[in-house]
């Protein structure tokens, strides 16, 4: 048992969970009343959209790309949801489907012309934001009732955000880590030449991964509007940094197709808890990004120590 607990590979895979638990117990120590159904639900109420955006980013990082547009994209989805989807469900649904298709086309363009994903997605972030502002120039709109009802579900014993995060992590884990198709998708980032020699189209793989990122980005926008009940073009601007940090906190790497869906969701939960930790520490929320950056640096430093030990 001791050998397993001190094994570098085990420590590396367990680090996201350990980081989450350390922060959670620190919050419980500072504010014991947070150790309750209501307290956990309040602290993690925005964990679901952050987790979904993190999973979207994870699909992009899996193929060695980086998406700097996921935040504005989630904001666009929120604006579509609070306007078109509320007023005309069919038109809103078509707009969301078109946005997923646009993400897939973005992946095709990057692969076809061998363009740097950072530059392309940075440019697209302004496109998403511009369209969102055109749809909803000022904050407003209204969330569809069914989305509000879903995001306000009161599950027994365990808060809904915790259950939803666990389901998201499990489903994506089964898709990417336990299926033969998932192995091919991850191989496109880990060893693209071998995947191509095996007869798989790298173009098709990248389109699928970008489309999946768009799909989870849409889910993130829907869930965010369900919580806020209205929308704003800038409502998810921070989600780009959240998503990247969540993947890295969860054990993902920028190259090699090394990702962990469960770790990514745990990373997203850790980021969601950071705001509550600052409040209980009586520190201004303006420092939230800085605190999340500090958490990321600490976890990366620990991972580097573990990797050095393994080497």
pLDDT tens track for 235-265: 999 999 899 989 988 888 877 778 899 999 9
- Domain membership flag for residue 5: no
Tokens of residue 155, six digits: 């599950």
Report yes or no on 16 lying in a domain: no
d(CA 74, CA 234): 9
Which pLDDT does position 199 carry in this prediction? Answer: 84
148 part of a folded domain: yes
Of 15-19, 60-64, 113-117, where does mean pLDDT reach its minimum? 15-19
* Dihedral (CA of 273, 274, 278, 279) sign: negative
- Residue 109 has a CB neighbour count (10 Å cut-off) of 15
| Residue range of the domain that includes 145 | 26-310
Instruction: Domain count for the chain, please give it.
Output: 1
Residue 8 counted as domain residue: no
Q: What is the dihedral of CA 153, 167, 58, 22, to 10 degrees?
A: 80
Q: What pTM value is reported for the model?
A: 0.94
Q: What are 217's two structure tokens?
A: 């980005």
Is 211 inside any structural domain? yes
**pLDDT for 309 beyond 70:** no
Position 48 in a domain: yes
Report yes or no on 139 lying in a domain.
yes
Residues in the chain, total: 311
Q: Is residue 195 part of a domain?
A: yes
Which has more pLDDT, 228 or 1? 228
**Structure confidence by residue, pLDDT tens digits, 130-152:** 999 999 999 999 999 999 999 99
User: Region 201-218: what's the mean pLDDT?
Assistant: 96
Expressed in percent and rounded to 5, the helix, strand and coil fractions of the chain are 75, 0, 20
Q: What is the pLDDT of residues 39-98, one digit of tens each?
A: 999 899 999 999 999 999 999 999 999 999 999 999 999 999 999 999 999 999 999 999
Q: What is the mean pLDDT of the chain?
A: 89
Among the listed residues 180, 172, 164, 162, the one whose alpha carbon sits nearest the alpha carbon of residue 259: 172
Is the pLDDT at 157 greater than 80? The verdict is: yes
Confidence of residue 3 (pLDDT cuts 50, 70, 90): very low
Confidence band, pLDDT 50/70/90 cuts, at residue 168: very high
119 Cβ contact list (under 8 Å, min separation 6): none
Alpha-carbon distance of 59 to 63, in angstroms, equals: 7
């Amino acid at each position: 048992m001791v050998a397993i607990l001190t094994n570098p590979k085990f420590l590396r895979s367990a680090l996201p969970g350990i980081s989450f638990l350390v922060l959670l117990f620190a919050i419980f120590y500072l504010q014991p009343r947070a150790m309750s159904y209501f307290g956990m639900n309040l602290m993690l109420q925005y964990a679901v959209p952050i987790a979904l955006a993190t999973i979207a980013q994870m699909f992009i990082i899996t193929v060695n790309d980086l998406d700097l547009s996921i935040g504005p994209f989630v904001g666009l989805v929120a604006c579509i949801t609070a306007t078109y989807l509320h007023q005309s469900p069919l038109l809103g649904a078509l707009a969301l489907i078109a946005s997923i298709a646009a993400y897939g086309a973005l992946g095709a363009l990057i692969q076809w012309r061998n363009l740097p994903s950072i530059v392309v997605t940075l440019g697209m972030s302004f496109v998403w934001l511009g369209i969102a502002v055109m749809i909803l120039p000022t904050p407003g709109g209204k969330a569809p009732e069914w989305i509000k009802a879903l995001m306000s579900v009161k599950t027994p014993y365990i808060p809904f955000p915790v259950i939803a995060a666990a389901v998201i992590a499990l489903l994506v884990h089964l898709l990417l880590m336990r299926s033969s198709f998932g192995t091919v998708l991850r191989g496109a980032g880990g060893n693209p030449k071998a995947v191509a020699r095996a007869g798989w189209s790298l173009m098709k793989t990248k389109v699928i991964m970008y489309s999946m990122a768009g799909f989870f980005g849409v889910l993130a926008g829907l869930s965010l509007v369900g919580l806020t009940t209205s929308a704003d073009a800038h409502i998810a601007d921070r989600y780009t940094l959240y998503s990247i940090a969540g993947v890295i906190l969860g054990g993902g790497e920028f190259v090699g197709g090394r990702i962990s869906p469960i770790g990514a969701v745990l990373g997203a939960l850790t980021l969601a808890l950071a705001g509550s930790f600052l409040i209980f520490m009586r520190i201004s929320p303006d420092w939230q990004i800085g605190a999340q950056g500090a958490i990321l640096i600490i976890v990366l430093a620990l991972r580097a120590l573990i990797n050095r030990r393994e080497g």
